[in-house]
Structures are given as C-alpha cells and as structure tokens.
Amino acid sequence: MQCLRTGNLLLGGYVLGSLITLPHVNSQGVMCVWLLAAMLLGFLIGEFVALKKFRGSIT
C-alpha cells in the first residue's frame, strides 16, 4: 500500500506541475495534461479499491 500512496503522491505532483505550465503549451501539451490527470484518477480509484478489499489485512 505504501508504494501506491507514494506513486499517487508523485503523480499528483507531476500533474500539478503540468497544470502550472498549461497556459504556455500547445494542443499536444494539453492532451498530455489530460492523460496525466486520467492516470492519477485511475491510481486513486485503484488505491481506494485496494483499501476496501484488503482493509482487514492492512495494519
């Protein structure tokens, strides 16, 4: 679980950094920002599902 949380934190920082540069990018850059945001959303959903499924075995 710690790896999932660390990955989510790093990907979240990467998305925030991409959002800062958003006004200065072309359409390809906007597509990359949306891709990163979708990846972060998928990782967050995966973490919540894993927490729900393995709640009893996580100390």
Greater model confidence, 38 or 58: 38
Residue 32 resides in a domain: yes
- Domain of residue 14: give its range: 2-51
**Is the Cβ–Cβ distance between 4 and 46 less than 8 Å?**
yes
Tokens encoding 28: 């390809």
Residue 58 resides in a domain: no
Range 34-38 average pLDDT: 92
pLDDT at 57: 77
If one counts the domains in the chain, the total is: 1
Greater model confidence, 53 or 4: 53
DSSP characters for 1-59?
A: -HHHHHHHHHHHHHHHHHHHTGGG--HHHHHHHHHHHHHHHHHHHHHHHHHHHTTTT--
Residue 56 resides in a domain: no
Buried b / exposed e over 31-51, threshold 16 CB at 10 Å, is eebeebeeebeebeeeeeeee
